[in-house]
């Protein structure tokens, strides 16, 4: 019988406090002037976003594409009669917002330049923001250049409620992630615990697999305790979270369908980005 999240309470309570959101420039709020968009990273998430754009369901114009793999960028651009650029800087004069859908390293290497150009950004690889100094650097750049950094909710549910709860005192944050062994690039016939510890360490060991831990930590303002399990019996990417504080308790359980293109990525992560892009043109906003 699999252990539930209530049994995962054995880590020491030495969690760091993360003062992540100190200004409106690091935000989930909507900037209504966004209409033209470019994307960095033409993998699974970009494929899903582009397919929505090709059907006229994105709400904004997705026009520019950049990837280290030039063939991928050209293939994606062709779907929407867009433009593939070998140098990501070539899109900056023509877009309002750049979606990062590549990797934490791409956030470090490229996003500062985007912000310096006065463009808004949407970051999918939230693990890069677990480095507090780098997060503060990006936030200061956004403030200086009148830009905004948007962080979609990704593959987790309940973040809106947790964000509200963070106004008070958060006392404990736990998360158990369970995926198929192939998602981690390993083979095993039995349930195997790959990691147990702090979110900041988890995103270092699994930079493309555990953005959910970063999202949870950022929203709570407290570093989450994380357990990562490779389980050959599961068909979904599973995330169970438990947050407690002076507001009460929140427990959520998410069973995400993995992308066919890349099993590390949940469909819900791509859908959250699409919904945020659609919201830029909507007049009714639901949620905190």
Which residues carry out catalysis?
239
Q: What are phi and psi of 282, to 5 degrees?
A: -100, 145
CA distances from 219 to 3, 17, 213, 241 (A): 26, 11, 10, 13
Question: Tokens standing for 24?
Answer: 């409106």
Q: What are phi and psi of 51, to 5 degrees?
A: -60, -40
Taking phi over 0 as left and psi of -120 to 50 as alpha, with beta for the rest, 231 belongs to beta
In 33-186, at which residue ranges do the beta strands (DSSP E only) sit?
Answer: 36-40, 61-66, 83-84, 97-100, 120-123, 149-150, 170-179
CA–CA separation, 222 vs 178, rounded Å?
Answer: 22
Count the neighbouring beta carbons within 10 Å of the beta carbon of residue 135. 21
In 77-208, at which residue ranges do the beta strands (DSSP E only) sit?
Answer: 83-84, 97-100, 120-123, 149-150, 170-179, 192-198
Nearest Cα neighbor of 225 from 247, 252, 246, 196 is 196
CA–CA separation, 205 vs 200, rounded Å?
Answer: 9
């Amino acid at each position: 019988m699999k252990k539930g999240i209530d049994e995962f309470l054995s880590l020491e309570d030495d969690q760091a406090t993360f003062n992540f959101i100190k200004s409106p420039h690091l935000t989930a709020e909507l900037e209504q002037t966004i209409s033209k968009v470019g994307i960095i990273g033409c993998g699974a998430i970009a494929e899903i976003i582009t397919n929505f754009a090709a059907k006229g369901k994105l709400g904004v114009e997705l026009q520019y594409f950049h990837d280290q793999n030039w063939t991928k960028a050209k293939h994606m651009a062709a779907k929407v009669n867009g433009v593939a650029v070998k140098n990501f800087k070539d899109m900056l004069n023509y877009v309002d917002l750049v979606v990062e859908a590549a990797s934490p390293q791409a956030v470090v290497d490229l996003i500062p330049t985007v912000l310096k150009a006065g463009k808004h950004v949407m970051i999918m690889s939230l693990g890069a923001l677990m480095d507090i100094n780098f997060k503060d650097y990006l936030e200061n750049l956004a403030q200086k250049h009148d830009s905004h950094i948007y962080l979609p909710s990704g593959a987790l549910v309940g973040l809106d409620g947790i964000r509200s709860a963070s106004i008070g005192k958060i006392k404990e944050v736990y998360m158990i992630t369970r995926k198929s062994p192939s998602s981690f690039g390993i083979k095993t016939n039995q349930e195997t615990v790959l990691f147990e510890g702090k979110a900041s360490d988890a995103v270092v060991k699994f930079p493309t697999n555990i953005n959910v831990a970063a999202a949870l930590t950022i929203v709570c303002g407290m570093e989450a305790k994380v357990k990562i399990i490779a389980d050959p019996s599961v068909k979904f990417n599973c995330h169970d979270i438990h947050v407690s504080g002076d507001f009460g308790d929140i427990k959520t359980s998410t069973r995400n369908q993995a992308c066919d293109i890349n099993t590390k990525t949940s469909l819900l992560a791509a859908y959250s980005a699409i919904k945020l892009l659609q919201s830029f043109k909507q007049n009714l906003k639901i949620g905190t």
